[in-house]
Amino acid sequence: METAGGTPQRLRTLPSRLTNGVALAANRIVDRALAEAGVRRYHYALLAALEEYGPDSQAALGRRTGIDRSDVVATVNDLAGWRLLQRTPDPADRRRNVISVTAAGRERLAHLDRLLSAAQDEFLAPLPAADRQHLIDLLTRLVDHHEGRHR
């Protein structure tokens, strides 16, 4: 029988459940912001990786961003079609392409960064600046710990 008040206390205090609920809310906010710009997360991730690390192969981009190979191909095709990146033959191995961000891609990335910054502000609205930074620090420690454990 369901009682008034909603979620049972033991569920409301499970860190894993809380993290999942917060992730769902964050994903909705971020997806909405990116959709307004006509892109998805993978578009942003590839542009960000290319901007930060420079030209790379599609396979390396997939490893760097955690995006599946087939999704990298489709995303690169989208971005190349929009002239936000370019593919050139790799001089060391003509069978593969080197992907690089264009000037238009850098401009688009800067625009997306502004949209995502606003989305982060919306997501973290109930928290003052010090709490936001503390949350980021704690989440970073958790991610670093669990990614290190699964490598």
- Does residue 38 belong to any structural domain of this protein? yes
Token pair in block for residue 90: 């790799």
- What CATH number is associated with residue 32? 1.10.10.10
99 domain-assigned: yes
Q: In whole angstroms, how far apart are CA 116 and each of 34, 39, 62?
A: 8, 12, 22
In a domain, 145, yes or no: yes
Q: What is the pTM of this model?
A: 0.86
SS (H, E, C) 110-145: HHHHHHHHHHHHHHCCCCCHHHHHHHHHHHHHHHHH
* Beta bridge partners of residue 63, listed in sequence order: none
Is 86 inside any structural domain? yes
Q: Nearest 5 degrees, angle CA 23-CA 24-CA 28? A: 115
Indicate the SS3 state at residue 151: coil
Which of residues 89 and 94 earns the better pLDDT score?
89
Task: For the chain, give the mean pLDDT.
Answer: 93
Q: Residue 4: which pLDDT band, with cuts at 50, 70 and 90? A: low
Question: What is the residue whose two structure tokens read 């489709």?
Answer: 74
pLDDT, mean of residues 89-115: 94
10 Å Cβ neighbour count for 129? 8
Domain extent at residue 102: 22-149
Position 40 confidence tier, pLDDT thresholds 50, 70, 90: very high
The total domain count for the chain is 1
Would residue 6 count as lying in a domain? no
The pLDDT tens digits of the residues spanning 56-72 come to 999 999 999 999 999 99
